[in-house]
Amino acid sequence: MIVVTNNEKTRDSLPMAQWVDGTALDVLDEVESMLRTGYGLVSAPLSANNRLNRSPYRSIILGKQGTWSGDDLELVDKARAFLKSQRIVQDSSADVDYRWIDADLAKTAWDEGMKLGLQRRDPKGAPHE
């Protein structure tokens, strides 16, 4: 597995991270690119909470095998369209909270993926022990 993120807290707390220096939409672009090389979604590209979808931080877990049977690229396209219609929060006083929540959700998804036996992989696709 690998996490694609623009959140330093997530990048620094999980063992395999693909850093995106950009916006939540840039994270989706990188995820789409990786899906086209054979990765699958392990975590959803959107949160179940609309307020969290306005966060400037996005962390998405990918694996060489996905965890659902849907069309990953379609899901990312729908997530992109939704995020474009939202107003991303620019309140710096909430920045620490948004970073923490994103990192915590990513860690939970990572841990669940590990329970399913999904293997960690480096960004070039080699297994990581």
Q: What is the pLDDT averaged over residues 78-97?
A: 88
pTM tops 0.85, yes or no: yes
User: Which of the pair, 106 or 124, is modelled with greater confidence?
Assistant: 106
pLDDT in tens, 38-77: 899 999 999 888 888 889 999 999 998 766 667 999 999 9
Q: What is the pLDDT averaged over residues 101-128?
A: 78
Angle at alpha carbon of residue 85, lines to 79 and 91, rounded to 5°: 100
C-alpha 17: how far from its chain's center?
10
Instruction: Using the predicted structure, report yes or no on whether residue 125 has a pLDDT greater than 60.
Output: no
The pLDDT score that the predictor gives to residue 88 is 81
The pLDDT score that the predictor gives to residue 70 is 75
Residue type for position 43: S
What percent of the chain has a predicted confidence (pLDDT) above 90?
A: 66
Q: What are phi and psi of 59, to 5 degrees?
A: -130, 125
The pLDDT score that the predictor gives to residue 52 is 85
Sequence spans of domains, the chain: 2-115
User: Which of the pair, 123 or 48, is modelled with greater confidence?
Assistant: 48
